[in-house]
């Protein structure tokens, strides 16, 4: 049979980089292309203890159907934690537990975007979110990212000239892939610009808790007196991505729609994951665990940046990072990025070609993304040396 | 701020029965309104054993990111099991693990349906699926369900007179809410009609494994020589709904699209749930477990039907059931269904008003749905007696 797919789905083209990423998961390959938390960052022993206790004491609760909004004590914990630590959330807001933060991107798009409507995105940006937007037929308009975050003039201009702008998608902390953190001044300005034009902000903050140097900068959501910011958080980078636990905090009116859509999407997030997350953050020392993770990524990031300076500079430039998982490297003009990426793969080093993160899928790029959380320290040392040799 | 939601979502009206269902989960209420598996049907001890072993031996694998298609050994197991036991699946087919079968409904609609396209549904049908279809702006066309399944003439007529029919949604075994099982003759005819008009079939079979009397009837998917049937299965009723593990089996070309969409929806299904499901079906006696569940539901269904005969007949009529979780009861003409439902709730018995399952949300109904899996035997005895008294 010849299948006729929905128009939105026909627009989703098979990605040229998919084959590279497939190859890159093979054994023997140095995985600079991944985005996984380091295995050593998982509190495996604690999760086992918690899980055993849950399944011994109250197995039926963990195995039965649950409510779409999420496990109430976990929702209350997050609401309180985010309010006290980051001034996120108001009396007009509510919270929903999702199957990873990816589901927030999906639900928000479903709730707000008609086919052809515009979503403004940082360019480059996280491919998973861009594809979620594309899967609803959204018109993506990219705005360049500078060393201190999104280009404000370009943002205002993009909003002005685009039709039916539904929201701005931004990752203010340790942006994926650029590693850039938006300055406080820009966050304030972004909020004011969006407020002025009646544009919502989808603030994605998966890496916020893994700042390993410098000072926290207030979230855009903490400035949200007008109910225009939808905040997406995640346990993937601070506890476990395999569990699939994320959340959204937004105005109650928005939340009611997100909840109806989540009900039709997957009914509720796996209860075991929610229970384990809840017990971990309340019965163990979550802050000490975060400190441990931060010190792991601090070590790995510093190692990676030191080796980049040694092997890749001055030909290659990158934004120094204070958190997150990635180095975004600019190749010299005389090097073809895709050719370099393929050459690296032949030499057993997998990086992600910059084009993967372009809002315009036909755009060229002179960048590669290097992940330092997944490879071992030894792999980082060997991999950076190999990339350095290839450059010469 | 005044929010502007997507057109598809504006069409999702808050359900009038939501309040009833909320009330019905309060303590002291007899929960004939639920759809939960019986607590005693969960293999709690086995799940705890399996989970403990996984988290002791290979915690990082369980906690790390995984592939969108699902855990490969589980996919292979299901493919083999469904092929050998139910002749489901061919060389042209592939399988994806989903976050419950609800996600199959969501993904299939996303992949095939443009706003305004038609989905043909059995009428009444499962509200969760109907709402998933509605959430993409589908035009739902209902076809009556008879004692042996869908009305064939009405089905062919509905396909003929509707525009852009994308698929037929059917639950052939122990249909929710009617309890009806489609005859073999009708399954063959449904397949031929859909083939003739180039209409896909979404075959939802969450209850197939809990047939407690009578003989299995071949699935429609087992007749699928043309790649027109998408089969949805689930572990929710045979293992645990809280784990959120379902799956789809369909032609590889369809599967490629479902996979891209699942990636943007939630990346992958919770890995712990997939690992536990896999180990349970391969390391324990799954067939013996199914027999145990069937005997629980046989007892509860028989008890419920015997009491319906005693307290509700002849005023109330219902289709006798050979599996599944529900009795679909027709009230006498002189009784207003909503009034009866509210009266029952005042008397601490919660049933679901038939209107909840109508394809046309404005339609009237003289039916109520009674679930016998969630209440205890004692609650079934008391509840049916109360309903009987109310009838008089």
Quick: pLDDT tens for B358-381.
999 889 999 999 999 999 999 999
Report the interhelical angle of A377-391 vs A337-346 (nearest 10°). Answer: 130
Distance (Å, whole) CA A353 – CA A15: 12
Instruction: Kindly tell me if the per-residue pLDDT of B346 is higher than 80.
Output: yes
Beta bridge partners of B371: B326
Contacts of B266 in chain A (CB under 8 A): 98-100, 102-103, 106, 244, 265-266
Asked if A48 is an interface residue toward chain B (Cβ–Cβ < 8 A), one would say yes
Measure the CA–CA gap between A312 and A331, rounded to whole angstroms: 9
Whole-angstrom Cα distance, residue A326 to residue A206?
13
B105 interfacial to chain A (CB closer than 8 Å): yes
> What does the pLDDT average to over A84-102?
97
Task: Confirm or reject contact between B9 and chain A (CB < 8 A).
Answer: yes
B348 and B30 Cβ atoms separated by less than 8 Å: yes
**How many Å lie between the alpha carbon of B240 and the closest alpha carbon of chain A?**
5
β-pair type (A367-371, A352-353): antiparallel
| Integer Cα distance of B288 and A174 in angstroms | 52
CB contact under 8 Å between B6 and A110, yes or no, is yes
- Asked if B100 is an interface residue toward chain A (Cβ–Cβ < 8 A), one would say yes
DSSP 8-state symbol, B359: S
What is residue B350's three-state secondary structure?
strand
CB contact under 8 Å between A44 and B55, yes or no, is yes
* pLDDT confidence band for B162 (50 / 70 / 90): very high
Q: Nearest 5 degrees, angle CA B17-CA B20-CA B23? A: 150
Tokens of A205: 């903050």
State whether residue A72 sits within 8 Å of chain B by CB: no
B313 CB-near residues (< 8 Å, 6+ apart): none
Q: Are A209 and A290 in contact (CB under 8 A)?
A: yes
Region label for A327, one of left (φ > 0), alpha (ψ between -120 and 50) or beta (otherwise): beta
Task: Write the pLDDT tens digit of every residue in A336-360.
Answer: 999 999 999 999 999 999 999 999 9
pLDDT tens sequence across B86-129: 999 999 999 999 999 999 999 999 999 999 999 999 999 999 99
Q: What angle do CA A136, A138, A141 make, to 5 degrees?
A: 150
Say how many CB pairs under 8 Å bridge A and B: 236
- Closest approach of A114 to chain B, Cα-based (Å): 5
CA-derived radius of gyration, chain A? 21
Q: Which residues contact B28 (CB under 8 A, 6 or more apart)?
A: B348
Inter-chain touch B113–A64, beta carbons under 8 Å:
no
CA distance B378 to B372: 11
Q: Which residues of chain A does B9 touch, with a Cβ-Cβ cutoff of 8 Å?
A: 110-111, 257, 260-261
C-alpha dist (Å) from residue B199 to A304, B125, B128, B155: 55, 19, 22, 11
- Averaged over A185-200, what is the pLDDT? 98
Q: What's CA A168's distance to the chain center, in Å? A: 15
> A244, B257: Cβ pair inside 8 Å?
no
Give the chain B residue whose CA is nearest to the CA of A196: B1
What are the counts of helices (DSSP H) followed by strands (DSSP E) for chain A?
Answer: 14, 14
* DSSP H/E element including B292: helix B286-307
Convert the pLDDT of each residue in B51-67 to its tens digit. 999 999 999 999 999 99
Beta-ladder partners of B316: none
Decide if B146 contacts B122 (C-beta within 8 A).
no
pLDDT 10s digits, A100-136:
999 999 999 999 999 999 999 999 999 999 999 999 9
- Give A9's contacts in chain B (Cβ within 8 Å): 110-111, 257, 260-261
Residue B1 to residue A227, Cβ atoms within 8 A: yes
Please answer yes or no on whether B243 and A4 come within 8 Å at the CB atom: no
DSSP class of B50: H
Q: Which of A200, A230, A226 is nearest to A98 (CA)?
A: A230
Determine contact, residues B109/B133, Cβ cutoff 8 Å.
Answer: yes
Flag if B128 and A60 touch (Cβ within 8 Å): no
Residue of B nearest to A126 (CA): B264
B23 pLDDT tier (thresholds 50, 70, 90):
confident
User: In chain A, which among 279-338 make CB contacts under 8 A with chain B?
Assistant: none
For B223-278, what is each residue's pLDDT tens digit?
999 999 999 999 999 999 999 999 999 999 999 999 999 999 999 999 999 999 99
Please answer yes or no on whether B5 and A261 come within 8 Å at the CB atom.
Answer: no
Q: Does residue A53 sit at the B interface (CB-CB below 8 Å)?
A: no
Q: What is the pLDDT of residues A256-284, one digit of tens each?
A: 999 999 999 999 999 999 999 999 999 99
The interface predicted TM-score (ipTM) is 0.96
**Residue B128: which of A56, A59, A264 has the nearest Cβ?**
A264
From the list A1, A117, A228, the residue facing B228 with the nearest CB is A1
The confidence score (pLDDT) of residue B12 equals 81
CB contact under 8 Å between B241 and A64, yes or no, is yes
pLDDT at A18: 67
CB contact under 8 A, B42 and A63: yes
> Residue B35: closest CA among chain A residues belongs to which residue?
A65
Return the DSSP state at B361. T
pLDDT for B13? 67
Tell me if B264 and A228 make a contact (CB, 8 A cut-off): no
Q: What is the pLDDT of residue B27?
A: 86
Strands of the sheet with B229-234, listed across from one edge: B93-98, B246-251, B229-234, B200-204, B165-170, B118-123, B139-146, B149-150
Phi and psi for A171 in degrees, rounded to 5?
-115, 90
Record: contact B100-A253, CB cut-off 8 A: no
A44·B66 Cβ contact <8 A? no
Question: Are residues A264 and B42, on separate chains, in Cβ contact within 8 Å?
Answer: no
Chain A residues 252-281 with a CB less than 8 Å from chain B: 253-254, 257, 260-261, 263-273
Q: How far is A334 from chain B (nearest CA, A)?
A: 35
Q: How far is B332 from chain A (nearest CA, A)?
A: 33
Quote the pLDDT of residue A68: 94
Question: Closest approach of chain A CAs to the CA of B291, in angstroms?
Answer: 19
* Cβ separation A39–B56 shorter than 8 A: no
Residue B230: how many other CB atoms lie within 10 Å: 27
Across the interface, whether the CB atoms of B266 and A100 are under 8 A apart is answered yes
Q: CB count, 10 Å around CB of A90?
A: 15
- SS3 readout for B63-110: HCCCCCCCCHHHHHHHHHHHHHHHCCCCCCEEEEEECCHHHHHHHHHH
Whether the pLDDT of residue B19 is over 80: the answer is no
Give the C-alpha separation, A256 to A94, whole Å: 9
Give the number of other Cβ atoms within 10 Å of residue B18's Cβ. 11
Residue indicated by tokens 């086919």: A115
User: Which pLDDT belongs to residue A27?
Assistant: 86
Classify B370 as helix, strand or coil.
strand
Helices (H), chain A: 7-10, 18-24, 44-57, 59-63, 72-86, 101-112, 127-134, 152-161, 184-197, 252-266, 271-283, 286-307, 337-346, 377-391
Contact check, Cβ <8 Å, B270/A99: yes
Q: Of B6, B55, B267, which is closest to A112 when you measure between CB atoms?
A: B6
Q: pTM score, two decimals?
A: 0.97
């Amino acid at each position: 049979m010849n299948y006729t797919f929905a128009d939105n789905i026909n627009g989703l083209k098979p990605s040229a980089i998919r084959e590279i990423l497939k190859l890159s998961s093979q054994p023997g390959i140095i995985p600079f292309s991944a985005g996984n938390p380091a295995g050593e960052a998982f509190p495996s022993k604690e999760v086992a203890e918690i899980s055993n206790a849950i399944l011994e004491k109250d197995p039926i609760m963990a195995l039965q159907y649950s409510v779409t909004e999420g496990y109430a004590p976990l929702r209350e914990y997050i609401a309180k934690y985010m309010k006290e630590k980051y001034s996120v959330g108001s009396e007009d807001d509510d919270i929903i537990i999702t199957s990873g933060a990816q589901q927030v991107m999906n639900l928000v798009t479903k709730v707000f975007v008609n086919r052809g409507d515009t979503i403004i995105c940082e360019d480059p940006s996280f491919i998973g979110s861009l594809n979620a937007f594309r899967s609803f037929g959204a018109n993506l308009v990219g705005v360049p990212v500078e060393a201190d975050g999104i280009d404000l003039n370009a943002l205002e201009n993009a909003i002005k000239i685009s039709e039916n702008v539904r929201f701005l998608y931004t990752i203010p902390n340790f942006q994926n892939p650029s590693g850039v953190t938006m300055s406080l001044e820009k966050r304030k300005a972004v909020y004011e610009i969006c407020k002025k034009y009646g544009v919502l902000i989808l603030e994605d903050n998966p890496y916020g808790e893994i700042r390993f140097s410098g000072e926290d900068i207030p979230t855009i959501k903490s400035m949200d007196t007008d109910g225009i910011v939808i905040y997406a958080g995640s346990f993937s980078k601070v506890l476990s991505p395999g569990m699939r636990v994320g959340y959204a905090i937004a105005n109650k009116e928005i939340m009611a729609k997100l909840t109806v859509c989540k009900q039709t999407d997957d009914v509720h997030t796996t209860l075991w994951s929610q229970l384990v997350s809840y017990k971990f953050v309340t019965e163990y020392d979550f802050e000490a665990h975060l400190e441990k993770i931060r010190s792991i990524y601090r070590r790995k990031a510093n190692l990676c940046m030191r080796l980049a300076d040694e092997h890749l500079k001055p030909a290659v430039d990158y934004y120094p990072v204070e958190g997150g998982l990635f180095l975004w490297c600019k190749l010299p003009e005389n090097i073809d990025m895709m050719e370099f990426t393929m050459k690296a793969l032949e030499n057993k080093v997998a990086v992600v070609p910059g084009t993967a993160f372009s809002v315009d899928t036909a755009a060229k790029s002179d960048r590669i993304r290097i992940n330092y959380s997944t490879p071992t320290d030894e792999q980082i040392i060997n991999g950076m040396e190999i990339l350095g040799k290839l450059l010469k």
